[in-house]
Structure 1
């Protein structure tokens, strides 16, 4: 895989050498062990003593009360929180790791993920966009969080949880829910960006940190027993809320490979003893031989839970070619995996997508039959797909198009979010269509294919790695058209299995922020961690009546998308618009669900539209017992929703469907009696409610943790803490009229606002309000 050193250095520079130096000073005196004990461990120790001390260390982190380890504001004035264990330091990384104690680090609590891993619903083929796809085939990704979009701007936001959006913007992933495994790749070191963990967990995906090209001292026992290293790594995952590690160890000797397997086995043993679950290890070694990747531990069980096979594994290669390994064909994968007590679902084929996401269309059909077609009965897969890195691929492809250096197939006006949607939903941006390459597109794929004996290779250049030199083969990866999307190979996933469920279609970034329709901030912002569960399909559109024709998109349908101009809560809303006439009657599949309807179950929509447009809108429900026939319900007139902006709340009671299971939710649009007319409807909130909900109490123990003055601007940052878990909005309250200015949203017990107060402010009122399930609760105030 590509060297991450340049990326890591950029992140270190972003925080400044002074900040890194401060952390090194702090870390020098920290440790799960005393200084004397640490010296003893670095010199070796008896295994029984090490195991006992390390297990105690894992538990000790959890026993400390919230706020333990924090210091008075004056002691940390001038220092904003920094994500722990960042690469790029001049200190010995191994020594830093072994000495690090998050409970004694005043910054650590600001980077904990508190969002639990959401359970996913069972597959249901009848409501899949492609019913023949085998849902056992998984998807995984190596995600590079918050990449800077502007080509000449510093790429320095990867370790930042939330911030004001820089000029040109940053990337915010919108399709994490497609994946079973999300790996933090590049920029943060071992600990993932907590925003990535929050978003992955909300969508039911595991989030893994990366152990990249590990220092031999981590696994060879030469300085610290391997069990002690394992305990340290498990303790970090437990404290910061992520789910394990992607272990990337390349070019090692046979002995080193066995020792890495021993480290993974030790981590699993520690996690079991400490009851840390889930705890997942994925293994990649740059080669892909299952005999190495699934190397057994002393008990004979494989040390890794899943593995990533390099793209050369089954005969398709990325730029420059790579390697082939055993077994050499996806058809033999089941036998190869079973030899190590694993199944094909535990093996992911790595597809390198930078700078050409179109490589999915060229390579993925060799692993999984598109759309569950006739290549394999029922669309059975030879393994899963691991996409590295979607973020890099989308951004580099967009930059290639903007610079006129390839990607001529891409609309010049397309933004990075559109490129991402193409990658996941296919060239039509409709995941229910076939998206198959045309003859001309297939010819482009084939022009980069070379045969070498029985092996087929792709030899393609990577212009993004040539430092601006226009030295390209034909075709370049940037010229590979996007045809098939991930949706043509991987069945959709969903976490919507019970009421209450609510979404405001918040993308995790915006040009402003809204609360109950009120604009409470005019500042552009990003925070992937507060992204809502977004629609399952983006965008499955079809004629209102009849089945989806997967061969071609129907002409004249309404447009649908997420829009940041106006929102009800957050930074965006769902918008459906266009000319609605007889030929444009449209249905939009939104959410895959598995909800048992009870007498109290209801659906609530908060919409912004003319009364005539709401009258043409239908809520569609597909039930598991009749998946071929949606139940269409007209929207009632409704009443003014809370807040401002003219939003309307409509409630539809579903008691008459009690006892049935709701498998899918749609919106439908039918023309009125007056013929074709423009329609423009926004949905600012969609919720499925159940029994009466309890009130949300204000956070207890709200206190000021730090007050930081920016030396350049004079703006004052505030670090705040409280005692309760949950989701919270943070506001600055105008002392004159009581108006609230939004500072941020967080899931957890602490929040840092880097520019909470204008320069020179001596005193202000801060409010922290509890929110949940689309509702707003009590608030606590603090004068700072």
Structure 2
């Protein structure tokens, strides 16, 4: 991906840095010995020749790189936040680099500092950006990213980076990539196998290596046609043309339409113009395609929401959107931040705008937030729905209100669906301030915090839903307050009515309140709001919100726990690879603990294989390990047990 004229070398540098050592800032600070630990599984990457040898039955890391969360259905809210935004028009692609191509831990790490993507409601597809000439060109996503994205209804796309010759690209790699054997494309067959085994949705093809010809271009087109037969999504990047040369069109033209035609979408290079986008949309329509299958690229890697964007070209006022939007490197909000709180503030401004309210994006600022243009979507469409406001990283980990680990961590596989609207508070006069809090979680690493002294009744709109209620449905809230009454009510919008539920006056510890909804059987719950009544200062933590049909029995535990490998990390700690047989039924995640006088949370996964990065050993060089199955409603199984031994 390149800029104009004499800026090309700078942009090329960005491309290479996106996949190599410059991205070490995205990794936790760990000693080299940790990365060299043979027990640690890493995300997968290959060159065209090496992927041909990949076999999940012999790749030791393959089972640790699998996502098991199905792609959730998403719908437009019954009452979208922003009247200016359009629904069912432009989509958003996000090209995100989470870590270097190599040495990228498959299942999270013991550090809070991570780009915990959490404005999924504005994203349609996430491209797992990376690849480099020295490491590998074909990059499969971490399963943790796929888990979180799929839970929110967002597709995840692996990346192919065929780099410029100035940065190590070889035209032979392109030829190897599209090489045929009879009527087959062996590399495509392997890429299809990888995507199916790992559970992600398709591939982004970024071919920027010069030296091709018309025959190579035809072979690339046929490669796309072949891959599309598998049902995977293919996104093409605007670089290679019909002659085989690399020439960025910044539009859909006669030079690149041969690649767009068989692809699902095309990412247009960054130098587009208003007229060029209009022409692109018209050509797409003439081809029988939606103009929203074109994503106008916006490079935000360096300046984030300070980037100049021709918004009116993509989103003309008073008219349908021209094309979709493609963000290159929105993790700027994390990389430029000075703290987790700063990251969340920047991320909120990026997606929602400087007012911090998706319902109010009126501002003189050029960057009004994506919420100003595109209607949010919700994946909350079936029971049970439970959220602990877990962002997928934290300073500690709590279970049922008890802190079970004080170790920092990141693992997006454990992320919950977060509030649809952040933050929309209605009322007159002084209002309360909602936020995500890492200091006092109820379950996971984060809780919802509401503070302030409201001058009137404040409605904090939280979740857009489309939940069909049954005769046994119930609503639950777990919350705690400081001194004094909570003055909290839950407001449920069911059909055209509001059900107001008083949470009562509580202070001190966590309190669980449960309300039956059986009288609303056959109707649909469309919104969950918390109302804060006036009368004095409020400090409230909300640890859980859920709508469930209660289970009569707990889930069964996993079985056949196996310790695949143990590696010493220091004198008193080991790491270990664990596998097990899944519990029957729908399981949300498995949690791994160390048993003892104090039960310690060691990590979790949606998978049936997990790498435990740090297990403290007893004086007998052993540790008792327990694995529990957790359902979507957070019902917990009895533990399955095994022993990890630190000595051979």
Of 308, 312, 333, which aligns to 1:394?
333
- What is the CA-CA distance between 1:589 and the residue it aligns to? 0.9
Where in structure 1 are there 5+ consecutive unaligned residues?
Answer: 23-77, 88-92, 148-154, 273-278, 316-327, 370-374, 403-412, 443-482, 544-553
User: Which residue of structure 2 aligns with residue 704 of structure 1?
Assistant: 563
1:708-719 equivalences in 2 (<5 Å) = 708-710=567-569, 715-719=573-577
* Selected match of 2:146 from 197, 200, 217: 197
**Please, which moves more after superposition, 652-661 or 202-211?**
652-661
Aligned to 1:176: 120
- 2:179 paired with 1:240: no
Q: Secondary structure at the match of 1:533?
A: coil
Does 2:63 align with 1:103? no
Change (3 A) 1:236 1:292: farther
Work out whether 1:659 is the aligned partner of 2:522.
yes
CA deviation string 1:744-772 (max 9, x = no partner)? 01111011112213497522210001112
- Which of 261, 271, 283 is matched with 1:302 structurally? 261
The answer for the alignment partner of 2:282 in structure 1 is 335
Retained in 2: the 8 A contact 1:280–1:305?
yes
**2:19 aligned counterpart, secondary structure:** helix
Distance in 2, matches of 1:501 and 1:715, equals 37
Counterparts of residues 525-536 of structure 1 (less than 5 Å): 525-536=409-420
Report how many aligned residue pairs link the two structures: 599
* Map of 1:376 onto structure 2: 318
Is 1:537 equivalent to 2:421 in the alignment? yes
Q: 1:130 to 1:769 in 2, by over 3 A?
A: same
For the 8 Å contact 2:43–2:105, the answer to whether it is kept is no
TM-superposed deviation, 1:139:
1.2
Contact 2:251/2:280 (8 A) holds in 1:
no
CA drift of 1:349 comes to 1.3
Residue 120 of structure 1 corresponds to which residue in structure 2? 74
Structure 2 Cα separation of the partners of residues 511 and 398 of structure 1:
17
User: C-alpha distance in 1, partners of 2:441/2:18?
Assistant: 35
- Are positions 1:778 and 2:645 aligned together? no
Q: TM-score, normalised by structure 1?
A: 0.71
Mapped partners of 1:617, 1:679: distance in 2? 9
> 1:618–1:634: 8 Å Cα contact kept in structure 2?
yes
**CA pair 224-250 structure 1, distance change in 2 beyond 3 A:** farther
Q: In 2 relative to 1, CA 435–311 (structure 1 residues): closer, same or farther, beyond 3 Å?
A: farther
Q: What secondary structure does 1:204 align onto?
A: coil
Q: 1:637 to 1:500 in 2, by over 3 A?
A: farther
CA distance in 2, matches of 1:756, 1:686: 32
CA distance in 1, matches of 2:82, 2:552: 34
Q: Is residue 238–residue 256 contact of structure 2 (8 Å, CA) maintained in 1?
A: no
CA contact (8 A) 1:732 1:740 kept: yes
Contact 2:554 2:635 in 1 (8 A): no
Moved more, 556-565 or 248-257: 248-257
Which segment drifts farther, 760-769 or 701-710? 760-769
Task: Evaluate the alpha carbon distance shift between residue 245 and residue 129 of structure 1 in structure 2; reply closer, same or farther with a 3 A threshold.
Answer: same
Aligned partners of 2:420 and 2:308: how far apart in 1?
Answer: 22
Matched residue, 1:57: none
Which of 73, 92, 100 is the matching residue for 1:139?
92
Matched with 1:410 is: none
Taking the aligned partners of 2:287 and 2:158, their CA distance within structure 1 comes to 24
Counterpart-to-counterpart distance in 1, 2:179 and 2:114: 41
CA-based RMSD of the aligned residues comes to: 3.1
> Does the 8 Å contact 2:203/2:235 carry over to 1?
yes
Displacement of 1:291? 4.0
Determine the C-alpha separation between the residues in 1 that align with 2:23 and 2:426.
48
CA 1:343–1:519 in structure 2 vs 1: closer, same or farther (change >3 Å)? same
Matched-pair contact (CA < 8 Å) for 2:178–2:185: no
CA drift of 1:175 comes to: 1.4
Contact 2:81–2:358 at 8 Å: present in 1 too?
no
Shift, 1:6, TM fit:
3.8
Output the CA distance in 2 between the equivalents of 1:314 and 1:761: 69
Q: Measure how far apart 1:114 and its partner are.
A: 1.2
3-state secondary structure, aligned to 1:664: strand
SS at structure 1 position matched to 2:347? helix
Counterparts of 1:32-43 in structure 2 under 5 Å? none
Q: 1:100 to 1:157 in 2, by over 3 A?
A: closer
Q: How far has the Cα of 1:651 moved from its partner?
A: 1.2
Cα offset, 1:530, TM superposition: 1.1
Deviation at 1:357, TM superposition (A): 1.9
Q: Tell me the residue number matched to 1:420.
A: 347
Residue of structure 2 equivalent to 1:618: 489
Aligned 8 A contact 1:258 1:295 in 2: no
Report the Cα offset of residue 397 of structure 1. Answer: 4.2
TM-score scaled to structure 2, two decimals?
A: 0.85
Give CA-to-partner distance per residue, 1:425-484, whole Å, 9 cap, x none: 1001111112432xxx56xxxxxxxxxxxxxxxxxxxxxxxxxxxxxxxxxxxxxxxx41
Question: Is contact 2:19–2:97 with CA below 8 Å preserved after alignment?
Answer: no
Which aligned pairs between 1:48-447 and structure 2 lie closer than 5 A? 79-86=38-45, 93-121=47-75, 123-124=76-77, 126-130=79-83, 133-145=86-98, 158-165=104-111, 169-186=113-130, 189-213=138-162, 215-221=173-179, 227-250=185-208, 252=210, 253=212, 255=214, 256-269=216-229, 271-272=230-231, 279-286=232-239, 287=248, 288-291=250-253, 295-296=257-258, 302-315=261-274, 328-359=275-306, 362-369=309-316, 375-377=317-319, 380-391=320-331, 393-398=332-337, 415-437=342-364, 441=365
Structure 2 equivalent of residue 746 of structure 1 = 605
Residues 484 and 505, structure 2, Cα contact 8 Å, conserved in 1 = no
Equivalence for 2:387: 503
SS of 1:607 mapped into structure 2 = strand
Structure 2 segments unaligned to the other structure (5+ residues): 2-10, 164-172, 240-247
